[in-house]
Structure 1
């Protein structure tokens, strides 16, 4: 009799614990789906959908006879997206070994972008070769956060013969980013540094676009 009573009490206790657990889980589920449903839906959307920048091609420069002096061509640029990197050391070391980019250079570029959102693509190397593109794509599964984007690059049909007049373009520096004159620019943007390219920067720059893209767990577009 005594043993049966103890078993009965133990059974009631276990059922009580199970019931309490189910009540707690149900309350939590209600809170997430009903009370905070809209908020959680927005957070989920942010993790899945990303705004991708579409760089504008730089304006073409002609001479008085309509001959092209400066134009743009497509180029492949290598980026790192901090938000998608699982292991920084593993990704940085892997990328450095794969393409021969000094580890210090990669880390320096990541540090320069610390003030930007973690989803902001950090330019690591511009105008990479097709061989380098193939290497990156072949190892993408081992390098989460690494992405290659095709973007416009400045091109001078006559080489550097008119460099003293046309000037040149280059990536904006950390010092220039702090200037009021470049308040609308971001790390990785290309600006005119000298000559016509610099004097007419606001006319040649163009206006970047953007699009919404869905990404998977590694940051790749789906």
Structure 2
């Protein structure tokens, strides 16, 4: 195998890996977005959702703190699971006033009302415990019905990329265009393979015909030689 052939072989392998990864990502996005029926819903697959973080209200040094631009993973909660929420857990809920999703830490649970607070605000003005209210505390009181899911982990820096990909321009430039380029590359590789195989078949056919012709000529020469005798 020549160096040029090895390069094309390795490029083909890399292209296949990237191509199928992009296809898988596009498939996962499509499936997850099928679960979004209202503005309150979040994309999820089999109850596993994700949220791109757009603010720094949960930044800090704790293991479950995350920065702006992180991708946070959540478990979508059923009504019965919401009853088992505990103070200190991080949840995603829908704010009906601001019409946005908020992800903050639970401070108190009273009946069906959950009070949450961002960790940055808690460090600045004190962590709310139900008795130490301060006007500077940015607290959110929401119903259990508005709770969507519970934090399970995060991936720093990925949320910004996911958020960009989910925009129309991002989908075109980061998914559709690379897929088109890779598809074109795969098509070129396939065409080259087909042409090479056809060439090999033609060369084999030519060699067989040449050999058959040689044998036929030898046979004729032998027959002529026999007739002379």
| Same fold flag (TM > 0.5) | no
Larger radius of gyration: 2
* More contact order relative to length (CA 8 Å, sep ≥ 6): 1
State the TM-score bracket (shorter-chain normalisation). Answer: under 0.3
| TM-score normalised by the chain length of structure 2 | 0.27
